[in-house]
Amino acid sequence: MIEVRNLTKTYMTHERGHTLREVTRNLIRRPMKEIKAVHDLSFTVPQGEMLAFLGPNGAGKSTTLKILTGVLHPTAGEVRALGLVPWKQRRQYVGRIGAVFGQKSQLLWDIPPVDAFYMNKAIYGVPERQYQSTLNDLTELLSVGDIIRKPTRQLSLGERMKCEFIMAMLHRPEIVFLDEPTIGLDMIAKENIRHFIRSMNSQGVTFILTTHDLEDVEMLAERVIVINHGEIVVDDSLGVLRSRLGDKKSVRLTTESPVPDIRIQGITITERIGPLEIALEIDTSLLPLKRFIREFNEVYGIVDMAIDVIPIESIMKELYMDEASAESAAAKS
Ligand SMILES: Nc1ncnc2c1ncn2[C@@H]1O[C@H](COP(=O)(O)OP(=O)(O)OP(=O)(O)O)[C@@H](O)[C@H]1O
């Protein structure tokens, strides 16, 4: 459904310089600087997939999504989505995709969402019967029957986001791009939105999600692509991603005597919660849990313990840090 081959985007910008002298000189000379935002990305997304496209700030996510939505054209490489080249066959393509931006509204502030929906109906040329039936389905699924008739500015953020989703889905897009779709929402509103995304996905809609909210990723995504410095670092299912990073456990421990700053292979102290309470990360491939419990109990006396799998935040942190440390090591050598 989406096929990306060797995608590269290089921005050309004017170098400003750091010192006042450089800035003044560069105002006249205007030297150009290349910024490789994405480099040689290749991946495919089958129909009906729920893909999380992640990476730290500046990794190249927005650039890739802008190319996939047809807003930008690449410097090199190919993209085919729904059989079309997004930036070349944009008119045909936009009628088959949708987008929801958590930080940017597509509704109009002073008019009720239902009027904005009607405008989109005209823009996309949605037939009246299809429009009414889709609108009924979506308003029912999101429980926003009355809300869509109030002026947008009077809606809560949660209500507005539900309407943003209706706006994006009315023309029944086959691929929907989500950028931080639950940002700023409370837990209940987040769950409503996630439930909606899951139910649209079960009807065959493909979702590509970019977010810094890793709970969205855990609750929604089947597959994760992580990019860093414009290149793919990981492309795997969430389960495989966890196992690839070792069999790590997060342990919260209360002991009879304080645990000092120990250096044992396989153990990292992540937090000191109190004088007798700490949080640890244990790599059980290096230190089996049974041995850890026995030895810690002998030395410090375990009073209470909670064991959990490592949350996805730690996995991501590790991925981002690996890349950063690899970079700095390369720079030093
Ligand atoms: N129009 C532009 N001109 C020049 N450089 C740009 C432009 N847009 C993005 N960049 C640069 O390209 C790189 C990738 O940016 P991009 O916005 O794609 O990252 P991102 O992963 O979406 O980051 P974030 O999570 O912060 O939104 C960054 O170094 C950024 O400064």
pLDDT tens for residues 37-49? Answer: 999 999 999 999 9
CATH 3.40.50.300, domain 2-6+40-242, yes or no: yes
The partner residues of 10 in beta bridges, in order of sequence, read: 36
The whole-number average pLDDT for the span 57-68 is 92
Q: Is the pLDDT of residue 328 over 60?
A: no
Return the ligand 1 atom nearest residue 56 CA: 25
The pLDDT tens digits of the residues spanning 285-319 come to 888 888 999 999 999 999 999 988 776 777 777 77
Q: Nearest 10 degrees: CA dihedral of 76, 81, 87, 91? A: 170
Return the ligand 1 atom nearest residue 59 CA: 21
Rg (CA), the chain: 24
Return the ligand 1 atom nearest residue 38 CA: 14
Range(s) of the chain covered by CATH 3.30.70.250: 246-309
Q: Is the pLDDT of residue 329 over 50?
A: no
- The Cα–Cα gap between 247 and 251 comes to 13
- Atom 25 of ligand 1, residue of closest alpha carbon: 57
Predicted pLDDT of residue 308: 80
Residue 232 near residue 250 (C-beta atoms within 8 A): no
Q: Find the residues whose C-beta lies inside 6 A of ligand 1.
A: 11, 13, 35, 37, 55, 57-63
CATH tag, 246-309: 3.30.70.250
Distance 153 CA to ligand 1 centre (A): 31
Distance 230 CA to ligand 1 centre (A): 9
So what's the ipTM on this one?
0.96
Question: What is the per-residue burial (b if ≥16 Cβ within 10 Å, else e) of 135-165?
Answer: beebbebbebeebbeeebeebeebbbbbbbb
Return the ligand 1 atom nearest residue 12 CA: 4
